[in-house]
Structure 1
Amino acid sequence: MNKGFYFERNLLALSRFDPALCSRLSGAETTRGRYRFIESRSGESIPALVDNSGAAHPLHSLVDPRREGKRLISTLGNEGFLIIFGLGGGFHIEAALEKTTIEGITVIDFDIHGVAELLSSREYIGIFNDPRFRLLVDPSAEALEQYILDRYKPVICGGISLLPLRTRADFSQGLFNQAGEAIKSAIDMVSADYSVQAYFGKRWFSNIIRNIAQAEQNTVPLAPVHSVAICAAGPSLDAQIPLLAERKNRPFIIAADTALPALISAGLTPDAVVSIDCQHISYYHFMAGLPEQTLLFLDLASPPLVASRSPRPYFFSGGHPLTRYISRYWRPIPEVDTSGANVTYAALSLAEYLCARNIELYGADFSYPRGTSYARGTYIRSLFENKQNRCIPLEALHSAFLYRTPLFKQGDENNSWYYETKPMAMYRLRLEEKVRSMKARIVVVPGMGAPIRLETNTGDNRTADTLRLFSSGKAAMGALEFLAQYRAGINALPLLQGPVYSFLTGLSKEETIIFTTLLPAAAALKRSAPELDTPELFDAVKKYCVGELEKLLGIWGMR
């Protein structure tokens, strides 16, 4: 058959799941001679890369490429998500798709003209029609990283493995090495996020559905602010509070929840306080009370007990799939970036949402300066002061708190030394990365902690958006009616059978979103019951979530 016949049929199959790539390939050339095709003893057409000297390098066995592909795949473990470097003739991919334990396959290749030549040489229809398969051609490191973050779900797929088609990977070693680094970076982020889901997925779900009733209340829309001071709870805040209190032109003060009692005890009332922790321990930051004029901003996944501290809290979506579902199908809720995984980052994101042009950071130490954990007046400091006695002095309590995780001593031994932990360093780096993308002018008030490097921030605050209001939209229905409708949506999801990505292909758009809202809770259930396979796990998570909704609806008198 001629090249055009194969090429058109392959593009038609590819367009089912990736019309954008199909469009790119339709404009590629198939006659650049990137490959030479050699017949194997078993009668298969084998692609061979042509180097600059004209020599051909076969990508598969010239004896029996299908048997070689099966042997290659047999070396893999039970990982459910497979990344392959190199499309080649697809024999290794066909063998991988025969494994029922593989939930998803992503093939990465470079040189779109070379890939177009491959598609004009033989049929890939069986591969392209499988919902588990995706092909990436010439992806940038950033695009590849984002793809892995979006596509790879450990609770669905289990582990992940990388399989290079060796000759192809060696031929473009630099490009594939960069791809490998991007994949590793993405996996690290996915793993960290999954670990958090495994611990808090059920609590998030429980908190979100219980906050719905209070989120139904209307709040006064908030106009943009010009200048913001963000107060974190690092020890440097002790010396910085007087600087802020003495300001003639007081900025809009946003306190991290950990810093709230420190500010109140120092006589400084913040304009707003932000809390994102789903654990009930966050309530202790509010034990000293919430000033009447202080606005409370909460992730919808925060504990309802914390929400009860204010008659009309301002809820936002921190990115949980259920809060996004709520925002889409019930009531539009402002989305605040909490991906930095700490409350200081969330406060900075809130300031950005409020269109602040000038932002100052106080108490953002991201470390333990000279071995001190938090500012005076914070919950942990007050707790230790109350617990100390002759047998367990204050210093012993602080030391036990500090040394519960590995510490790394940084800075000048005689002057400004501090302890840093890996999570703290990660929080600081994520904040620095966010600042680089912001339009506001941002200043870190000098302190004793780990230095925050903001030199790449342009501070082009003239272009900052000044029109956006912080306000929730109109609810499409009552809160209880929405929860009952959501319960019905979960119950209506079909049984999960076969590969997950094949299952997802058969769902409607709303069903897919509902399914996604269950993933964090599924991660938590998987942690407590690792023996569950994927169908059993999603049967269990459906029962758990429906049970939680029915308990709540029963309390509110609506079955």
Structure 2
Amino acid sequence: MEKKPMRFWEANLALLRQSNPDLTELVRQLEQVGPWEGPWARSKTGENLPPAPGGRPGSSLVSVYDLKAEARRWIEDTQDSGGVVVLGGTSPYVFETLLKMEKTVFFVEPRNEVLRSLLTCWDWRGVFSSPSFVFPSSEEKLRQTLQARFFPMWNGKLLIKEWRSAVENEAATFVSWKRSLSQTIEEWTGDLSTQAGLGRRWLTQTLVNLSRIRPCRLDLGDWDHALVLGAGPGLEEALDDPKNKRLLDERPRNGVRVMASDTALPVLRQRGLVPDLIVCLDAQTASYQHFLSGVPAGVPLLADLAALPVLDRLTTAVLRFRSSHPLAAYASLDYPELPFLDTSLGQVAGVALLAAARLGARRASLWGLDFSYPLAKTYARGTYVYPYFQTRSSRLEPSDSLLSAFAWRTDLVQRFSSPRGTVYTNEVLLSYKKRLETYPWPLEVLPWAGPGLELKFSHPAPLPFQKETWENPDTRGRWPRFKERLLHLWSDLDFTSFRTFQEFETGLGPEQRQGWRALWPHAVWLKTKKKTLQQAGWKELAQESRRFALEILGKI
């Protein structure tokens, strides 16, 4: 059979290496084996075509009649999408057409033999040179690139399409890639759902708190053992255990410090126990109910910069920290002293554990972190849900029924049997549990064997001991300067001069990009709440988000 001309091979490899340094090893492997020399499939006009992987001899990867028409038909359903993930190798005409439609294109083809035939057969230089074409080197790189390059709120829908002849006979090759895509979409869904509910609060409360920061210093003294308290049903058992009671009674001499989530505070107050630190993460108004019994005198609050501003009225000892919110990242330019804590764990107890590791703990015991509802019990007795449902109970709906129904407020409830009875949980709680267990903790973590799901932690690698002292300095004089600069930055953003969101983003400087992204959670909230914006393009949404944000900032 006639050999395919080799005129494209070297030029394709050279540009592939130049455009993506992550593919250096792949290019080296392809250079070692050389261009594809056959067997080829044949078009009806006698042209050589790449063979279909795993197919019968002579079967083609693309149409033997008109591969350009086939490409146009294949992309017909991509009109409403902002990005396309192409699973499996195909002709460059598919990618060129998508790129002309201003799509961001992600190409997944992990088989070197298929790549050899593609790069030998056609000229890919127009595709490889496009900044909107992404060829990830691994499943993890695909996930990272999607998170960094594609934003559903601004770019639009991401469509995942298989080139059937490339995938159907070797579907197992793409299982791990599809799993990575599913995980990314799940993360997007969770993040956007949270931002849709809290985006406006995060923006408003962060700005208010920045304008009111008071001096506060956090030093827990000589200690090495943290008791991190969640508010799950297992907290009751942990507090009733005789050995644990001694640990609490012998503070502070035994080097133990209690770091309580705000939800657990009323449970401790009810028992006459005083924590050494209260950790606050939630921005919702409902979290105020955790403090209705008061804050113990002298006990500091470690609070997210977006948490309730009213906390400053409850005590003078409030130390604000920066989290992963984009406005908090921008605020670090004027407030670098505020400590940073990674809130991607999604749970206040995880933040408390992070704080413990940096403030001097060498080991931490976890109480009340059940990540489940043992016997359909949602929280430890004494938490805010008990008085809340007691005031709403009746003869037809007693409080026990309301409390149990709280366990089924989300979909996809799962059941587990244990020696202590049935345990209920859901996907959200399981994801929180997995994040906590797999985080690279630099200290020994000792979970309490309560009635909930078992927690399993690996032993940490030895790390240098660290003990930080955190402080919020007197920053009152910084707020006017910060406010003025943010007003100018938001006002000067020019959305009208760019056709696409990607072009606009690329044209921003580092500080502009930080300030612009501070608007994103608020934009998600707006798009969800305002019907007129639900089908809006990126420019209209950006302009409206800025307008509302400037109104909020102007009132503070």
Pairwise TM-score range, normalised by the shorter structure: 0.7 to 0.9
Partner of 2:518: 517
Matched to 2:555, the amino acid is: K
1:422 deviates by: 3.5
Amino acid at match of 2:330: Y
Determine whether 1:548 maps to 2:540: no
The 3 A distance-change label for structure 1 pair 113 and 398 is: closer
Shift in Å, 1:184 = 1.0
Change over 3 Å in CA distance of 1:58–1:388 after alignment to 2: closer
Displacement after TM superposition at 1:160 (Å): 1.7
* CA apart distance, 1:218: 5.3
Question: Quick check: 1:346 aligned with 2:351?
Answer: yes
After superposition, the Cα gap between the structure-2 partners of 1:163 and 1:230, relative to the gap in structure 1 and judged at 3 Å, is same
* 2:3 equivalent in structure 1: none
1:487 to 2:487 alignment: yes
Pairing 1:472-483 to 2, within 5 Å after superposition: 478-483=478-483
Contact 1:326 1:332 in 2 (8 A): no
Instruction: Please give the residue correspondences for 1:128-527 in structure 2 after superposition, counting only pairs within 5 Å.
Output: 128-137=128-137, 139=138, 141-170=139-168, 173-215=171-213, 217=215, 219-220=217-218, 225-243=223-241, 244-247=244-247, 248=250, 249=254, 251-328=256-333, 330-385=335-390, 393-405=398-410, 407-412=413-418, 415-434=420-439, 437-454=440-457, 457-460=458-461, 462-463=462-463, 465-471=465-471, 478-495=478-495, 497-527=498-528
After superposition, the Cα gap between the structure-2 partners of 1:34 and 1:197, relative to the gap in structure 1 and judged at 3 Å, is farther
* 503 and 67 in structure 1: CA distance in 2 versus 1, 3 angstrom threshold: farther
Unaligned runs of 5+ in 1: 553-559
Q: Note if contact 1:299-1:317 (Cα within 8 Å) is conserved in structure 2.
A: yes
Q: Partner amino acid for 2:520?
A: L
| TM-score calculated relative to the size of structure 1 | 0.85
Of residues 295-304 and 362-371 in structure 1, the stretch that sits farther from structure 2 once superposed is: 362-371
**What's the secondary structure of 1:304's corresponding residue?**
coil
- 1:83 alignment partner in structure 2: 85
| Cα distance in 1 between the residues matched to 2:334 and 2:96 | 40
The 3-state SS of whatever aligns with 1:374 is coil
In the TM superposition, residue 120 of structure 1 has moved relative to its aligned partner by 6.4
DSSP 3-state at the match of 2:232: coil
Cα distance in 2, alignment partners of residues 42 and 484 from structure 1? 68
- Distance in structure 2 (CA, Å) of the matches to 1:31 and 1:235: 61
**CA separation in 2, counterparts of 1:393 and 1:38?**
73
Deviation at 1:536, TM superposition (A): 1.0
- On the 8 A contact 1:222/1:471 being kept in 2, the answer is no
| Alignment CA distance shift 1:168-1:371 (3 Å) | closer
After alignment, is 172-181 or 40-49 more displaced? Answer: 40-49
TM-score by length of 2: 0.86
Aligned mates of 1:491, 1:207 — CA distance in 2: 21
User: What RMSD in Å do the two structures reach over aligned CA positions?
Assistant: 3.4
- What code does the residue aligned with 2:495 have? L
Distance 2:352 2:156 in 1: 34
Deviation at 1:418, TM superposition (A): 3.1
Pick closer, same or farther for the CA change 1:491–1:288 going to 2, 3 Å: same
Cα distance in 2 for partners of 1:465, 1:59 equals 58
2-structure distance, mates of 1:464, 1:361: 22
Cα distance in structure 1, aligned partners of 2:114 and 2:395: 76
Q: Aligned in 2, Cα 1:536/1:415: closer, same or farther, shift over 3 Å?
A: same
How many angstroms does 1:234 deviate by? 1.6
What is the CA distance between 1:420 and its match in structure 2?
2.5
Once the 2 structures are TM-superposed, how far is the Cα of residue 126 of structure 1 from its aligned partner?
3.2
Aligned mates of 2:524, 2:222 — CA distance in 1: 38
User: What CA distance in whole angstroms lies between the structure 2 residues aligned with 1:509 and 1:209?
Assistant: 21
Contact 1:409 1:419 (C-alpha < 8 Å) held by counterparts: yes
Q: Partners of 1:241 and 1:61 in 2: how far apart?
A: 70
Residue type of the alignment partner of 1:262: V
What residue identity is the alignment partner of 1:550?
G
Match of 1:73 among 72, 75, 97: 75
- Structure 2 unpaired stretches of 5+: 1-5
In structure 2, what is the Cα distance between the partners aligned to 1:210 and 1:44? Answer: 68
- 1:438-488: CA deviation from partner (whole Å, max 9, x where unpaired): 23221111222222233xx1244x425425444569979812211221121
* Aligned residue-pair number: 538
Instruction: Give distance in 2, aligned partners of 1:515 and 1:144.
Output: 25
Q: Distance in 1 between matches of 2:452 and 2:323?
A: 27
**Distance (whole Å) between structure 2 residues aligned to residue 52 and residue 33 of structure 1:** 20
Which amino acid is the alignment partner of residue 533 of structure 1? G
Give the Cα–Cα distance (whole angstroms) in 2 for the partners of residues 305 and 161 of structure 1. 44
* Structure 2 CA distance for aligned equivalents of residues 263 and 297 of structure 1: 17
Structure 1, residues 154-191: CA drift from partner, whole Å, max 9, x if none?
21123221122333335654332211111112211211
What amino acid sits opposite 1:214 in the alignment? R
In the aligned structure 2, how far is the partner of 1:226 from the partner of 1:64? 71
Offset at residue 293 of structure 1 (A): 2.6
Displacement of 1:489 in angstroms is 1.1
2:94 aligns with 92
Q: How much has 1:330 moved relative to structure 2?
A: 4.2
Q: CA deviation at 1:540?
A: 0.9
Q: Deviations over 1:134-155 (max 9, x none)?
A: 1213x0x333333333333221
Letter in 2 for 1:452: L
Please report how far the alpha carbon of residue 118 of structure 1 lies from its aligned counterpart in structure 2 after TM superposition. 4.7
User: Equivalent residue of 1:29, what SS?
Assistant: helix
CA distance in 2, matches of 1:112, 1:502: 33
| Per-residue deviation, 1:232 | 1.0
Residues 68-102 of structure 1: per-residue CA shift (max 9 Å, x gap): 211110133522221112454311111112324x3
Relative distance call for 1:514 and 1:86 in structure 2 (3 A) is farther
Question: Secondary structure of the residue that 1:195 maps to in structure 2?
Answer: helix
My pick for the range that moved more, 227-236 or 315-324, is 315-324
Q: Distance in 2 between matches of 1:258 and 1:476?
A: 30
Residues 298, 307 of structure 1: 8 Å contact kept: no
